[in-house]
Amino acid sequence: MNFHRSLRASLLGLFLTASALPVGAADIVTMGTTASVTDLPFYIGEARGYFREENLDVKFVNFDSAARMIAPLASGDIDAAAGGAAAGLYNAIARNIGIRIVADKSGTPPGRYSQSLMVRKALIDSGRFKTLADLKGLKVASAAPGSSAMGTLNRLYKMTGLKETDIDRVYLGFPQQIAALQTGAADVAFPTEPFSTLAVQRGYAVRFMTDDQIFPGHQISVMIYSDRFREQRRDLALRFMRAYLRGVRAMNASIVDGRIGGKDADEFVNLVAQNTPMKDKDFIRTLVLSYSDDDGKVNVDSLEEDFAIFKAADLIKGNITVQEALDPWFAATAAQQLTAGGK
């Protein structure tokens, strides 16, 4: 209840701000984020004026999970969002909730990862866990059913010959996964960054494998537009995509060995510290970032593989396909325009 009151108050404030703007002022776009390090392209776009150059005034609304963005997207209270390509997203579209996947947000080509297979350090030290086959009989913590972790686990089953029934599944949020590794409530977990690095630094767990090794090219999260934004504010939606992709390209140009580096490192590390709960700049520099595609291209094969897993687990309700959930026009058009313009 408090969350919804806070959201309504934030959106009311945005409406009043928009009402007070003079004629000819920048167009307001509301963007839902989780204030994570993968949101760096947005922060770059804001700080470097990429959005202003498109005559856009972007208002960021932070949510504690991507699932909470669906309702305000459907109602048009926010225009765009970044979240996981999860079963709940497809179910929302199947219920005729007006949203579509429009671009890549993060994925895992070799050397760039999001989640890690973290094994409780005591199991490594004792020799109980030596190979992936040792997952059998262990308590494995991951995010909710229907998340990208299901796809990663399915790849592990294929690699080891294990079945889902061979492990004891526990569903926990990422911070809770780290606590469970510390207390022994979980033996193995799949937290995303920065939680996996925190677990290593605190001595709770060992990073055994990363998801780029388990599922190379896995599509972890995506950009989502509301139908109102896609259809009724089409020019704004394209301008927003151009600015976003400029942020992505600037970020990718600064990545060294998967981490923020190069000549823009100080600027970008500062942006993460200013806009996310991560304030330790030295720690931010240690994080490997998942990959965002320069052209916003979505790995459709990865989405299809995860979708089939969700469907087999009876987590997809209604008639929907991955292709029906996609609208790649904005990313493709924006990328073409930027490349033609030398950006």
pLDDT in tens, 106-156: 999 999 998 999 999 999 999 999 999 999 999 999 988 898 889 999 999
Helix (H, G, I), strand (E, B), or coil: what is residue 131?
coil
Q: How confident is the model at residue 15 (pLDDT cuts 50, 70, 90)?
A: very low
Output the pLDDT for position 169: 92
> What was the pLDDT predicted at 14?
47
Q: Judging by beta carbons within 10 Å of its beta carbon (0-12, 13-18, 19+), is residue 18 exposed, middle or buried?
A: middle
- Taking residues 290-315, what's their average pLDDT? 96
Average pLDDT over residues 10-30: 58
Model confidence over 254-273: pLDDT tens digits? 999 999 999 999 999 999 99
Task: Give mean pLDDT, residues 8-17.
Answer: 46
Enclosing H/E stretch for 84: strand 80-84
Residue 335: count other Cβ atoms within 10 Å of its Cβ: 22
Across the range 157-163, mean pLDDT stands at 93
Tell me the pLDDT band of 17, cut-offs 50, 70 and 90: very low
pLDDT band (50, 70, 90) for residue 313: very high
Distances (CA, A) of 263 to 40, 45, 270, 281: 16, 17, 13, 16
Instruction: Give residue 65's pLDDT band: very low, low, confident or very high (50, 70, 90).
Output: confident
> End-to-end alpha-carbon separation of the chain, Å?
44
Question: What structural domains and CATH numbers belong to the chain?
Answer: 2-109+218-340 (3.40.190.10), 116-214 (3.40.190.10)
Closest CA to 334 of 238, 215, 210, 214: 238
